[in-house]
Amino acid sequence: MTTTHKTWHKIIKRHNDCRAKMIELNLKIEEGMKEYLKTVGETEDFIIRFEETGTIKLNCNGDLFNLEQIFDFCDVFNLSLIINNRVIVENHLKNTTEIRTNYLFTTGKLEEKTTDSGD
C-alpha cells in the first residue's frame, strides 16, 4: 500500500479531531463528578482527574465522604475502587492534624440494557 502525504494529512487530521472529542468528553465527565461530589461530600477541597485510560484520580484534604458515599459514587459513575490511601499527619508543635486522602478508581464494564418483553 502506497501512502502519500495527503493520506497522512487526512489520518493526522482525523486523529486530532478524535483527540479533541476525547478531551471534551473527559472534561464533561470530570465536571459531572465534581458537581456530584460537591453535593454529597464533606469538603470541597479536592482535585479529581479523569484519565483517557478510564482511571480516575481523586485527591482531597480531609475526609471527602464515608464508605457508603464512596460506593454510591461508584454506582452513579460505574466505577470500581482500586486504591484508597489515607494519611494522617499530626504536628505536635503546632497542635494540628491534617488528613490527606487519595483514591484511584477505574471505570467498570458497561452493562447493556435489556428490555423485558413480559413473556
DSSP 37-90: HHHH-S-S-EEEEE-TTSEEEEEEES----HHHHHHHHHHHTEEEEEEEEEEEE
Profile the chain (119 residues) by mean pLDDT over runs of 10 residues. Answer: 80 93 93 90 85 90 76 90 87 89 84 53
pTM assigned to the model: 0.73
- What's 95's DSSP letter? T
pLDDT score of 35: 92
Domain ranges in the chain are 5-107
pLDDT score of 54: 86
pLDDT score of 2: 65
